[in-house]
Chains A and B, each alone.
Chain A
Amino acid sequence: MKSRKPSIPYIIWMVVFTMIPIVMIAFTAFTDKDGNFSLEPFTKAFFYTDVFTKSLWIAFISTVICLLLAYPLAYFITKMKKSTQNTVIMLLMIPMWMNFLLRIYAWVTILQQNGPLDKALSILGIHGTYYGNSSAVILGMVYEFLPFMVLPIYTVMSKIDSSLIEAAQDLGSNNFAVFKKVIFPLSIPGVISGITLVFVPSASTFLVAQYLGGTDDIMIGDIIDKIFWTDQNTGSAISLILMVFIFVFLIIMNFFGDEEAIA
């Protein structure tokens, strides 16, 4: 128990399967097909600036919507009986355990022509296909990642010491003041980690846009997927840019929040 030796296998494992692959990505990003040093992969990567901004924009909107939906939800859950709280949290997590692709595919089924939504709206005389646009992609993202926003906010809120709230009430605060002065400030670490947990995967995921988006809804993950099979160098350069961007984002978020909440 007092020895460092048990960690040796994992340290070797990390060197081989974490460090070396990252070095390889970086190396491949700075070489051409013949293995000579080159900046060409990066100049090619800049063709996809539009895709980058679009991905970040979609991820940003999805994160904001998740936050707006999740924050009241988390707050309402903490107001319930303890046993009801556990049940609601369990209900939130069950869809997360269904396969990622099936969840997206379910939305394709709902939004397609002659699908349930189309049929429901046809009563009103409206017909159409409801996927193949950016809104459908954002809907898919929100559906995929909403629980990742709710859970950390709920965890932080449910740990707030009730005596703090009582103290505020005794000192004459009304419900709104209690929320503003006590609950909201103390819930910030949960919000920060929720933002991280939603933004990072939605900026880098692939397939959601392929399934639900239109022809111009291509996200950075889809580009990496498409390019990597034919041009590993450019694919590596884009991956490297994405990774650096995510790390910078995490450092900024870390600066705002407390480290424990994110890990």
Chain B
Amino acid sequence: MKNSKFKNGIVSKIYIAVIMLFLYTPIAVLIFYSFNEGKSTVWQGFSLKWYEELFEDDRIMSALWNTISIAVLASIFATILGTAAAIGISNYRGKKRLLIQNISNIPIISPDIVMGVSLMLLFSSLGVLFNFEMGYVTVLIAHICFCVPFVVLSVIPRIRRMDPSIYDAALDLGCNQWQAFYKVVIHELMPGIFSGLLMSFTYSLDDFIISYFTRGAKFQNLSIEIYSMTHRRISPKINALSALLFLAVLIIMIIINLRDRHEEKVRAEKT
């Protein structure tokens, strides 16, 4: 019995290690070549020149700025819109509520490409009507569209779990409705709001397809820049970019993980 348990432990460790190898080899390869002096996959010595060229590339830098600013704006706006929506929706009952929630889920379940082309149709005909061109703003709106459903989905369960009497208590203690919301209710909903915000932010950062269809002629973000770079020819600057993005993701993940652990500790101490 003990022996078989031990064997299982080894098998599972090897299996997990193989999967991790599969997941991380491509990233490791990109990072490795980012330090290559040469252009091809032939190693010609260590160099940081691709990093220098990356930071001197104005197109990539402005694309990076667009990606980050859109992710920040879209996730904040989606979080506000989505949290308000979740509160409103939770006061509907029965079929009406089911209908609203199902419509809200459409952007999640419909394929990205269909959402991309359908928004492109909308924006191009609105553009003709009101005489504007697709660009930063249309991409931002499109990103908000696919972010809000995630916020709604992560806030609604929190509302359901919340004890409604704490809101009434706040009112009894002299808060007006707005005070009761931002002094009491919002703290109860915070974990849901935060995970909605985080999901929105990462989906926005990662998106290519929807930006690609709603960007118009001139707008560039990182995904679109990577797309045009990889289509033209392979440039090692992309490797340098991947390495830096990987580092950023790693740092963010470690921070989130530490925060979760800290919260768990606090919770454990409370009980």
- Measured CB to CB, the nearest residue on chain A to B230 is A105
B82: A residues at CB distance < 8 A: 10
Residues from 214 to 266 in B contacting A, C-beta threshold 8 Å: 222-223, 226-227, 230, 234, 238-239, 241-242, 245-246, 249-250, 252-253, 257, 260-261
CA distance A93 to B104 in the complex (A): 26
CA distance A224 to B12 in the complex (A): 42
We find that the number of chain B residues with CB closer than 8 angstroms to chain A is 86
A3 & B222 in contact (Cβ 8 Å cutoff): no
Task: With a 10 A CB-CB cut-off, give which of A18, A93, A115 has the most chain B CB atoms.
Answer: A18
Flag A88-99 by CB within 8 Å of B: 1 or 0 each: 101111111111
Flag A1-43 by CB within 8 Å of B: 1 or 0 each: 1111111111101101111111011001000000000000000
In the complex with contacts A24-B118, A97-B202, A239-B113 CB distance below 8 A: yes
In the complex with contacts A1-B167, A10-B85, A10-B148, A101-B223 CB distance below 8 A: yes
A22 & B253 in contact (Cβ 8 Å cutoff): no
We find that the number of chain A residues with CB closer than 8 angstroms to chain B is 83
Chain B proximity of A96: nearest CB distance (Å) = 8
A83: B residues at CB distance < 8 A: 261
Flag B146-161 by CB within 8 Å of A: 1 or 0 each: 0010001100000000
**Sorted from nearest, which 9 A-B pairs have the closest CB atoms?**
A7-B88, A204-B111, A106-B26, A10-B85, A21-B118, A76-B12, A6-B84, A6-B88, A97-B249
**Residues of chain A whose beta carbon lies under 8 Å from any beta carbon of chain B:** 1-11, 13-14, 16-22, 24-25, 28, 69, 72-73, 76-77, 79-80, 83, 86-88, 90-103, 105-110, 112, 114-116, 143, 146, 175, 200-201, 203-207, 211, 221, 224-225, 228, 232, 235-236, 239, 242-243, 246-247, 250, 263
| Inter-chain pairs besides A20-B122, A94-B253, A146-B23, 13 sampled, C-beta below 8 Å | A1-B185, A3-B88, A7-B88, A10-B88, A22-B118, A93-B253, A102-B241, A105-B238, A106-B26, A109-B29, A201-B111, A239-B117, A242-B114
14 contacts between A and B (CB under 8 A): A7-B86, A13-B148, A24-B122, A25-B121, A73-B15, A90-B253, A96-B206, A97-B206, A102-B226, A105-B226, A109-B30, A146-B23, A206-B209, A235-B117
